[in-house]
Amino acid sequence: MSLNGLIWAPRQVILNTGGQVCDTVKELLASKPFYEVVEHFLRHLQKHESPLLELFDAAQPRQTEQQPKGTEGTEQPPKGTEQQPANPDRQIDVLVALFQALAVFPLQQAARIVPGAERFAARPKLLHRFVEELYDYWRGFDRFVVSHAESQANGQPDARPYRTFNDTVERLTDLVRAAYRDICENITGDHPRVYRQVAAGAHTGIIAVPKEWVCPGGIYEPLRRIPFIRQLLINPPLIIDPPMNKRTGEFTRVEENPLEGWELRPEEWLCYPALVGPLVIFVYFHQRFMGLGCSLANLFELAGDAQIAQGPHAIYLFGAPAQPMQRFGQLPTVFHEDHEHGWLVAAVPGEDRFGYFGYLKKMVLTLHNVIMMQRFGRMPFHGAMTRIVLRSGVGRNIVLIGDTGAGKSESLEALRILGEQYIGELRVIADDMGSLAIDASGAIRGYGTEIGAFVRLDDLQPGYAFSQIDRAIIMSPQKTNARAVLPVTTLDEVLHGYPVDYLLYANNYEEVDESHPILERFADVQSALAVFREGKAMSKGTTTSTGVVTNYFANVFGPVQYPELHEKLAQQVFTAAFARGVFVGQLRTRLGIPGYESKGPEMAARALLAQMAAQQARVQPSAEAQPQA
């Protein structure tokens, strides 16, 4: 067994290990982390002046004359004693030793084995309550196991290290449940009739080890010692409650490297090397945001060792020290162009106000968008893209652009449900962000960034969240803007490069009438650009904005920071789209209008489906071009 102790935070606990964790209940109860859990629980009880502390008062008897009359039938300390206040800290050793004995023996026998434990055994009901609440207290944390070894098993080289680690994490869950059940049954002398197989060990297991990559040294030198996540084991549904549930503002380009002027402690960080479209972005996150960092696994594929060795296109530090970041203003969510090393460097402070997955995801996508414009000449889009293959065999590729909460994903999901009798297959290419490129033939091709979706639970079709709950990471389900992160596509689909047939703006704020149809086609490039450029939307409460807002191309994640470059690319893309006969228009989802949260996207999907059917009836599909790299 190799345990390095626990790291506690307000909402989470991290167990660092050099390899395997525990093999038996006996080892578990004799470990330092178990002692720390009991100790931490006692601090919690003392802080809240819990009635459970009476257990320790009962453990400090002194002689008295006799048991008071009228107390027959109640649970009292042994006859001939009375209680006096005690210091629970002095009793931890005895209590932990009693738990070790209770894993094997009934209460009275265990109490005789452990010196001083008879006092705890004097009130078995209170002791049982203590164990139940200790178990619930432990399970109330987001729990992570981080293994810093990937090639050893029992001190020997391991041919299948990842399977060994997975077995180890699952074994820990089994041991914690077994220890809890054995102790409770030996206290009560009874056993439950119903067993609930809760994830009592760790929600998430992580293998994180150092890897060699082209690190230039200097201010980047500490990054060399931060381990890379090589495997994640998640037990969904993983439910976490980050400190924030909304994002505000945008990400600012700054002239100074945000890494300048502060000390980075590598032992407090992990790196998730994310595949973001065709890019590799090293996302470093502080351990205080462990739950948010691990949630990236449902959004981006992990880069391989060879991709790590080649180095990143961008670096992002999520959870930087707050004080040095103050030099960037009240909202220090910033990125910097390091021209010397040819990458972007971003940072967000480690404060609760930034403890929201949107700050993690959207900065990564901002870096992606900037690189797409600068190096690849692509126009980034904030929206969804899907490929629909009709039962006739005809494929249609739809790009739906719009701000957060505009009804993009909701409309496409409604399309999938409504079109079952017409649609043979629906593939997600991009759920939230992607890019458009003009190929050698003049066709517009669309690419994605993420393999997952970060979706509002309130806006999903009824039952959809529950059908996917066995794969989901759910965030703040009790709050406004409750979210789920779940995988929806593959990296092959993201990188394929499908020609665009429909380029639509998601209008969630306008009512529908004779002059404003659900699906409206634009007459020319300039009228289309005017609507896309204005980026108008009704805020859905996913950020701190309210009411109708406007954002340049509904995309503050790159285009706003580089408007001249983006405008040039947009003109090229829209001109090429009209030249190729792409249906360029807007789809009125009405998601932002009260009463249309579900009905609006459904009606939008019906209109789009009708248009596709009409188009299929009018023209024969041409042979589709081959995918582009």
Model confidence over 1-47: pLDDT tens digits? 344 578 988 789 999 887 667 889 999 999 999 999 999 999 999 99
CA–chain centroid gap for 24, Å, is 32
Task: Copy the structure tokens of residue 621.
Answer: 């599909």
155 has pLDDT over 70:
no
Q: Give SS3 for 188.
A: helix
Residue 545: band (very low, low, confident or very high) from pLDDT cuts 50, 70, 90: low
Q: Stretch 257-286: mean pLDDT, rounded?
A: 96
Instruction: Tell me the pLDDT of the chain averaged across its residues.
Output: 86
Residue 200: name the closest of 167, 165, 235 by CA. 235
What 8-state DSSP symbol labels residue 566? H
pTM of the model: 0.87
Question: How far apart are alpha carbons 491 and 106 in whole angstroms?
Answer: 55
Question: How far apart are alpha carbons 256 and 279 in whole angstroms?
Answer: 23
Residue 615 or 476, more confident:
476
Task: Copy the structure tokens of residue 391.
Answer: 């039962």
621 has pLDDT over 50:
no
Instruction: Encode 206-226: b = buried (16+ Cβ within 10 Å), e = exposed.
Output: bbbeebebeeeeebbeebeeb
Q: For residue 69, what are the contacts with CB-CB under 8 A and spacing of at least 6?
A: none
326 has pLDDT over 80:
yes
Q: Stretch 106-127: mean pLDDT, rounded?
A: 94
69 has pLDDT over 50:
no
Question: How far apart are alpha carbons 51 and 41 in whole angstroms?
Answer: 13
For CA atoms 284, 290, 292, 297, give the dihedral sign: positive
- pLDDT reported for residue 2: 43
∠ Cα 242 351 280 (to 5°): 75
Q: Stretch 232-250: mean pLDDT, rounded?
A: 87
Tell me the residue type at 325: M
Residue 544 or 25, more confident:
25
Beta pairing class for 152-153 and 423-430: unpaired
Question: How far apart are alpha carbons 454 and 448 in whole angstroms?
Answer: 14
Residue 12 or 625, more confident:
12
- pLDDT reported for residue 78: 47
**Range picked from 56-60, 490-494, 593-597, 602-606 for highest mean pLDDT:** 490-494
Task: Copy the structure tokens of residue 209.
Answer: 């080890």
Tell me the residue type at 571: Q
What 8-state DSSP symbol labels residue 519? E
Question: How far apart are alpha carbons 411 and 390 in whole angstroms?
Answer: 17
584 has pLDDT over 60:
yes
Task: Copy the structure tokens of residue 449.
Answer: 């960034």
- pLDDT reported for residue 249: 82
433 has pLDDT over 90:
yes
Residue 598 or 92, more confident:
92
- pLDDT reported for residue 609: 86
Residue 404 or 162, more confident:
404
For CA atoms 332, 334, 339, 341, give the dihedral sign: positive
Q: What percent of the chain has pLDDT over 70?
A: 87
Q: Stretch 555-575: mean pLDDT, rounded?
A: 97
Q: For residue 183, what are the contacts with CB-CB under 8 A and spacing of at least 6?
A: 99, 102, 103, 131
624 has pLDDT over 80:
no
Q: Are 102 and 26 in contact (CB under 8 A)?
A: no
Least confident of 106-115, 197-206, 221-230: 197-206
Least confident of 57-61, 444-448, 500-504, 572-576: 57-61
What 8-state DSSP symbol labels residue 490? -
Residue 140: name the closest of 129, 150, 132 by CA. 132
Least confident of 123-127, 413-417, 427-431: 413-417
Q: Stretch 535-545: mean pLDDT, rounded?
A: 70
Residue 111: band (very low, low, confident or very high) from pLDDT cuts 50, 70, 90: very high
Q: Stretch 272-297: mean pLDDT, rounded?
A: 97
